[in-house]
Amino acid sequence: MAELKLTDVAKAYGPVKVLSDINLEIERGELIVFVGPSGCGKSTLLRMIAGLEKISGGELQIDGQVVNNVPPAQRGIAMVFQSYALYPHMTVRENMSFALKISGKSKDEISQAVNRAAKILQLEPYLDRLPKALSGGQRQRVAIGRSIVRDPKVYLFDEPLSNLDAALRVATRIEIAQLKEQMPDSTMIYVTHDQVEAMTLASRIVVLAGGGIAQVGTPLELYERPENTFVAQFIGSPQMNLLAGKVVGTGAQTRIALPEGQGTILSNVPTRDSDMGAEVEVGIRPEDMIQTGGPDYAYSGVVEIKEALGEVTLLYFKKQQPEHDPVIAKLPGIHTGVRGRTLKMTADPAKVHLFRNGQSLLYRT
Ligand SMILES: Nc1ncnc2c1ncn2[C@@H]1O[C@H](COP(=O)(O)OP(=O)(O)O)[C@@H](O)[C@H]1O
Ligand SMILES: [Mg+2]
């Protein structure tokens, strides 16, 4: 049985619909990441699961029980917020004990729970310190510790790293991944707008956009087989190049002609006879672009901007139309003297995505 089941869940503030048709099952032990652009409803969805926000439509089940009208404290859920407020006059141990003391647990139970949490979070050396004597990352761990001691069924995290600087973000991200490994049976839902956090932490990612779910899948499923152009461009950086094209050969492999004096390219996405001549969008990730000298190229353009990052070089090609995004290639290593040159690019047919009206042809029924 799913730990968490959302059926047709919807949220509206008065006439303003924020979310609709949210259908999702989360199994015990999963680390699910909700990702999406700012304002797409990630926090709202998390707060509905926590019970801090009323559900306008549909049904939410936790552990087989409908909880739409169950108050937050009785849902077996712990939420770790963006800004973590620790009690400044209490030690780490007291901060972590507080909720259990209030709920009348015995001294032994409390000390057992706190010691377990401190061990998982590597906070044992700091139990007698005050929060002011801790680093930002350690304070964040104490905040997480306060939820662990309550042994909830589901942990909810709303952008817990967004207050940390870049280096600490990476370190804490790795700590959260390790924390999850030490608690294999706990279910976690983690909200972020950062696709790198989503890719590195999630067992499955839920991409939210336009008031609904754009796709649910493992990180690599979303990267390798995005269902639509939104997910295709949201996952991966720089974003996937999308080029308008026309199908000129169908079958197990598809040949697409790109316009404006460009070449043609093969894709392993199969097409039917009836697709001949169809307008499609060809998706190629910058890292899948290959420079070619041969006559069989897909795209030819003038390199306008170069960004040398050492391990890779980003090439931005001159735009054909002012309203288009520039085509970007991410080539391994260092490339000198390419600015202003015309380069011909192609890609492995296995790495060429095809979309029609924004939907991947891979998932067509
Ligand atoms: N109390 C509220 N009243 C009206 N609109 C709200 C309220 N809370 C959030 N919203 C709107 O709902 C949308 C989703 O917000 P939110 O869930 O916070 O987005 P995210 O966490 O993805 O950035 C936003 O457009 C926001 O303006
Ligand atoms: Mg939010």
So what's the pLDDT on residue 2?
83
| pLDDT tens by residue, 277-328 | 999 999 999 999 999 998 889 999 999 999 999 999 999 999 988 888 999 9
Q: What pTM, to 2 d.p., does this model score?
A: 0.92
Spatial distance between the Cα atoms of 50 and 43, rounded to a whole number of angstroms: 10
Output the six-digit token pair for 175.
């700590």
So what's the pLDDT on residue 201?
95
Burial class (CB in 10 A: 0-12, 13-18, 19+), 39: exposed
Do 80 and 223 have their domain in common? yes
Do 259 and 220 have their domain in common? no
Residues 160/79, Cβ–Cβ less than 8 Å: no
Residues 79/86, Cβ–Cβ less than 8 Å: no
Identify the CATH number of the domain in which residue 338 sits: 2.40.50.140
The Cα-based distances of 121 to 12, 130, 145, 161 in angstroms read: 38, 17, 7, 16
Burial class (CB in 10 A: 0-12, 13-18, 19+), 259: exposed
Q: Is 67 helix (H, G, I), strand (E, B) or coil?
A: coil
**CA 226 to ligand 2 center in whole angstroms:** 24
Q: Give residue ranges with CB within 6 A of ligand 1.
A: 13, 16, 18, 36, 38-44
Identify the CATH number of the domain in which residue 156 sits: 3.40.50.300
Helix, strand, coil % in the chain, rounded to nearest 5: 30, 35, 40
| pLDDT tens by residue, 70-89 | 999 899 999 887 667 899 99
Which of 40, 189, 234 to mutate for ligand 1's pocket (most ligand atoms within 8 Å of CB)?
40
Spatial distance between the Cα atoms of 141 and 118, rounded to a whole number of angstroms: 9
Do 189 and 141 have their domain in common? yes
pLDDT band of 140, cuts 50, 70, 90? confident
217, 233, 249 - which closes a domain: 233
Do 214 and 313 have their domain in common? no
Q: What is the extent of the structural domain holding 184?
A: 4-233
So what's the pLDDT on residue 171?
83
So what's the pLDDT on residue 82?
63
- By alpha-carbon position, which residue is closest to atom 18 of ligand 1? 43
Do 156 and 251 have their domain in common? no
208, 233, 258 - which closes a domain: 233
| pLDDT tens by residue, 217-251 | 999 999 999 999 999 999 999 999 999 999 999 99
Do 155 and 214 have their domain in common? yes
The torsion angles phi and psi of 116, rounded to 5 degrees, stand at -65, -45
Do 27 and 69 have their domain in common? yes
So what's the pLDDT on residue 83?
64
So what's the pLDDT on residue 288?
98
pLDDT band of 115, cuts 50, 70, 90? very high
Q: Percent of the chain having pLDDT more than 70?
A: 99
Do 134 and 245 have their domain in common? no
Which residues neighbour ligand 2 (ion) by CB within 5 Å?
Answer: 43
| Beta partners for residue 191, in sequence order | 34, 158
Which of 44, 54, 213 to mutate for ligand 1's pocket (most ligand atoms within 8 Å of CB)?
44
Do 62 and 119 have their domain in common? yes
Q: Which amino acid is at 257?
A: A
Do 15 and 136 have their domain in common? yes
Ligand nearest to the CA of 159: 2
Q: Percent of the chain having pLDDT more than 90?
A: 81
Q: Is 233 helix (H, G, I), strand (E, B) or coil?
A: helix
183, 218, 233 - which closes a domain: 233
Spatial distance between the Cα atoms of 80 and 155, rounded to a whole number of angstroms: 8
pLDDT of residue 164 exceeding 80, the answer is no
How many structural domains is the chain composed of?
Answer: 2
So what's the pLDDT on residue 269?
97
| pLDDT tens by residue, 38-78 | 999 999 999 999 999 999 999 999 999 999 999 998 999 99
pLDDT of residue 254 exceeding 70, the answer is yes
- CA 89, distance to chain mean position in Å, is 37
Ligand nearest to the CA of 162: 2
Which of 43, 54, 158, 207 to mutate for ligand 1's pocket (most ligand atoms within 8 Å of CB)?
43
pLDDT of residue 136 exceeding 90, the answer is no
Do 10 and 59 have their domain in common? yes
Do 271 and 163 have their domain in common? no
pLDDT of residue 198 exceeding 90, the answer is yes
